[in-house]
Chain A
Amino acid sequence: MTGSEAARLGSADVLSGPLDAAGLRGRVDSADSKVAREVKALVQAGDLAAARERFADLLALHQRRACRIALSYLNDTADADEAVQDAFVRVFQHIERYREDLPFDQWFTRILINRCIDQQRARARRDLRLVPLADSTAPPSRRPQDSPERRLLARQWRGAVSAAVARLPGRQRAVFTLCQYGGRTPAEVAEVLGMREATVRVHLFRAVHRLRSVLEVWREAR
């Protein structure tokens, strides 16, 4: 496997930086990692029907979190849906390359982030040619207990935060999205993105610093 291929697939071969052995062991033994190992074994045995059936369990374990990350990163429901689908399909197709001594969620999250980045680039190319009529693909705020005015306000500020996140440089955006919306610690993000933890901390602080003004207003509008 080449370096670029490994990066594209999110192979753990390209990871760098120290890993916390105890934490890593725990996540390698986690439910999703066990299911991933089973899927891999079934694919290697040639039992694709059983592998697909087991893969559905893996899908259920990660789907919601994947949608949250993709939507937060892309701020477009169709793009997020496509990125999540592509990531899962890619995982199944390359499950034989999954390294069993590393947590599955780490491998999967890297593939997902790469798909999000690809999707964002594709959208940027598309946006060069198209003029959007309205912001119809951003997710609406749907809390039934809110008044229409409050929902409108929430939607406006949600748009402001999303736009501010979208303006972050690539790595800052990935780090912030994974920490803030993916529920990852800086150490875990360092593993996923193959960066040093100190670098992740710097990106994280810079991202929050840039977003601070819009987040402040967002907090007050709550």
Chain B
Amino acid sequence: MKPVDTPHPDDARLVVRYFETSDRDEALELHVVRCASCAARASHLAAMLDADHDRTLGAADAWFGAERLAAQRRAILARITRPAGVVAFPGRGLRAPVASRVIRSRWAAAAVLVVSVGLGSGSWFAGGVATTPGPERLGETRIQASLAPMHEGEDAMLLEIDRALDRPQTRELRALEALTPRADEIVEF
């Protein structure tokens, strides 16, 4: 056998060599064949990684046996057959495309509500401050406001708010909202 004429490979090269099944470095291969100490190092490393590989994959294959794999296949095929939009509780997996629409409509309803309340209170205050009404005149203003004919647009908006508030999702949110503590309800002990 020819003497070794290349430097001894470090551990990093031997580790990578173990995982390379093809296209190995020829010079390195020659060195490992000719150098007894490097051959022993490579063999020791291979035995260590082989043991881990066999045990780990043996445990994995034992767990995912034929029955479990078949059940998993059925579950996957059922999931890709199920129409989009059906989300398994509690929302694991795929988010249904309808969810974002619902969220947007909730935000729109909330925005409409805030704007309408703001406009209504603004006009009420504007009328009150300008005329500085006494108690009897304030009553008149309220009556006039309630009897004033509403524009069709306002009517539609209010109907939309009513519909938004009456949706099942909104009712669920109201229940949650009722449970949410307010800042002024929190008492520091």
| Of A11-19, A57-65, A96-104, the one with at least 4 CB within 8 A of chain B | A57-65
Report B-chain residues with C-beta under 8 Å of the C-beta of A92. Answer: 80
CB atoms of B93 and A141 under 8 A apart: no
A192 CA to B22 CA, complexed, in Å: 18
A4 at interface by CB-CB < 8 Å = no
A93 at interface by CB-CB < 8 Å = yes
A180 at interface by CB-CB < 8 Å = yes
CB atoms of B60 and A67 under 8 A apart: yes
A93 CA to B16 CA, complexed, in Å: 36
Residues 201-222 (chain A) with a chain B CB within 8 angstroms: 201-202, 204-205, 208-209, 212, 215-216, 218-219, 222
| Of B29-37, B67-75, B149-157, B158-166, the one with at least 4 CB within 8 A of chain A | B67-75
CB atoms of A201 and B76 under 8 A apart: no
A208 CA to B16 CA, complexed, in Å: 10
Whether A52 contacts B77 in the complex (CB less than 8 A), given A63-B69, A81-B72, A154-B55, comes out as yes
The residue that A181 contacts in the complex, of B57, B80, B94, with Cβ under 8 A, is B57
Whether A56 contacts B61 in the complex (CB less than 8 A), given A141-B55, A180-B53, A208-B15, comes out as no
Q: Which residue of B lies closest to A68 (CB)?
A: B60
CB atoms of B59 and A219 under 8 A apart: no
Report A-chain residues with C-beta under 8 Å of the C-beta of B80. Answer: 52, 55, 88-89, 92-93
B177 at interface by CB-CB < 8 Å = no
| Of B43-51, B113-121, B137-145, the one with at least 4 CB within 8 A of chain A | B43-51
B148 at interface by CB-CB < 8 Å = no
Q: Which residue of B lies closest to A122 (CB)?
A: B92
Q: Which residue of B lies closest to A92 (CB)?
A: B80
Residues 107-140 (chain B) with a chain A CB within 8 angstroms: none
A interface SS class? helix
The residue that A85 contacts in the complex, of B15, B48, B53, B75, with Cβ under 8 A, is B75
CB atoms of B11 and A209 under 8 A apart: yes
B85 at interface by CB-CB < 8 Å = no
Residue from B49, B56, B62, B69 with most neighbouring chain A CB atoms (10 Å): B56
Whether A186 contacts B60 in the complex (CB less than 8 A), given A67-B69, A205-B12, comes out as no
A77 CA to B64 CA, complexed, in Å: 9
Number of interface residues of A (CB under 8 A): 49
A72 at interface by CB-CB < 8 Å = yes
Mask, B16-35, CB within 8 Å of A = 1, is 10011111000000000000
- Minimum CB–CB distance from B77 to chain A (whole Å) comes to 6
CB atoms of B52 and A218 under 8 A apart: yes
CB atoms of B16 and A205 under 8 A apart: yes
- Minimum CB–CB distance from B49 to chain A (whole Å) comes to 7
Q: Which residue of B lies closest to A81 (CB)?
A: B72
Whether A215 contacts B48 in the complex (CB less than 8 A), given A68-B61, A158-B56, comes out as yes
CB atoms of B77 and A56 under 8 A apart: yes
- Minimum CB–CB distance from B113 to chain A (whole Å) comes to 34
Q: Which residue of A lies closest to B64 (CB)?
A: A67
Report B-chain residues with C-beta under 8 Å of the C-beta of A179. Answer: 19
Report A-chain residues with C-beta under 8 Å of the C-beta of B22. Answer: 185
A109 CA to B106 CA, complexed, in Å: 39
Binding site for A on B (CB under 8 A): 11-12, 15-16, 19-23, 45, 47-49, 51-53, 55-64, 68-69, 72-73, 75-77, 79-81, 92-94
Binding site for B on A (CB under 8 A): 52, 55-56, 59-60, 63-64, 67-68, 71-72, 77, 81-82, 84-86, 88-89, 92-93, 139-143, 154, 157-158, 161, 179-181, 184-187, 201-202, 204-205, 208-209, 212, 215-216, 218-219, 222
